A and B are shown apart, each in its own frame.
Chain A
């Protein structure tokens, strides 16, 4: 038994990795994904090379235990998105 969510797509409520065409990669809980943007809750962002880690290094580490959120909510424009993956699949 669980709570029910509005119909916001198959990724609603799922923790996703949003890689961008730039230096940033975001991990957060997907609220809604539209043609214009993806909206994430409880979001962490990592910039390539930050703290000596590549974007992929950061994602691999996050896949083990999760992320420390920096932002309650972020909207990422679709034009900047390279890929969206489920963190649990990595």
Chain B
């Protein structure tokens, strides 16, 4: 059963307010993944405060980096369930967890942060991890 919008909407807004595009359906996910060019950051958002409470501000901080993804997209686990399932199908060898963060370059998964590498850390730690990955995998991409 989906969560109440009263709970979920502020958590979505933490990402959409900084430029993330919501992928609400399987078709949205496929359209984005099929046409993807350049670099992208996908956040599978969730309500869990143990991890998502660090993931969202961590992503926000990470995007202060000079090198950053061309595209920012998100799905919400437990809310847009079909879209989330479809998004996970693009990295089906990786066990599902939420929240999690995936980095793509020209449609290929290049870096992944599972839930357990978020829940034990601060937002600053999550940001440092992502910024290091941006520099490593995205540095040659044109800035958006």
Contact = CB atoms under 8 A, between A and B. Distances in A.
Interface string B16-58: 0000000000000000000000000000000111111100100
B53 A88 contact: no
Interface residues of A, number: 19
B115 interface: yes
A76 B112 CA distance: 30
Given A1-B14, A3-B48, A13-B50, A66 B120 contact: no
Interface residues of B, number: 25
Q: Chain A at the B interface: mostly helix, strand, loop or mixed?
A: loop
B119 interface: yes
Nearest to B11: A1
A14 B47 contact: no
A66 B95 CA distance: 6
Contact of B10 (A1, A69, A88): A1
A65 B119 contact: no
A88 B121 contact: yes
Contact of A14 (B7, B10, B50, B95): B50
A14 B10 CA distance: 23
B116 interface: yes
Contact of B50 (A12, A68, A87): A12
A68 B93 CA distance: 10
Given A1-B11, A2-B53, A3-B7, A66 B115 contact: yes
12 contacts: A1-B53, A2-B47, A2-B48, A2-B49, A4-B49, A13-B48, A65-B112, A66-B94, A66-B96, A66-B114, A86-B116, A86-B120
